[in-house]
Amino acid sequence: MASDRRPTFALPPGTCDTHVHIWGPFDRFPVAPGAPYTPPERNRDDLVALHARLGVQRAVIVQTTVYKADNRAMLDGIARSGGSWRGVALVDETFGDAEYRALHEGGVRGVRFGFVKHLGGIPDLDLVRRTADRIAEMGWHLVLHLDAANIPEFEPLLRSFRPPVVIDHMGRVPVADGLDQPVFRILLDLMRAPNWWVKVSGSERISAAGPPFADAIPFARALMRAAPDRVLWGTDWPHPNVRWMPDEADLVDLLPEFGDAAALRRLLVDNPARLYGFA
Give the residue numbers marked as catalytic.
236
Q: Cβ of 27: how many Cβ atoms within 10 Å?
A: 7
Give which of 195, 192, 220 is closest to 142, Cα–Cα.
195
CA distances from 164 to 52, 138, 171, 195, 275 (A): 30, 11, 16, 4, 9
d(CA 225, CA 231): 9
Distance CA 178, CA 219 (A): 9
Instruction: Give the span between the Cα atoms of 108 and 103, in whole angstroms.
Output: 5
H-helix or E-strand containing 62?
Answer: strand 58-62
Phi (first) and psi of residue 234, to 5 degrees = -155, 160
**Dihedral over alpha carbons 246, 14, 275, 191 (to 10 degrees):** -50
Sheet with 231-232: strands ordered across: 16-20, 58-62, 85-89, 108-114, 141-145, 165-167, 196-199, 231-232
Task: Report the helix count and the strand count for the chain, using DSSP H and E.
Answer: 12, 8
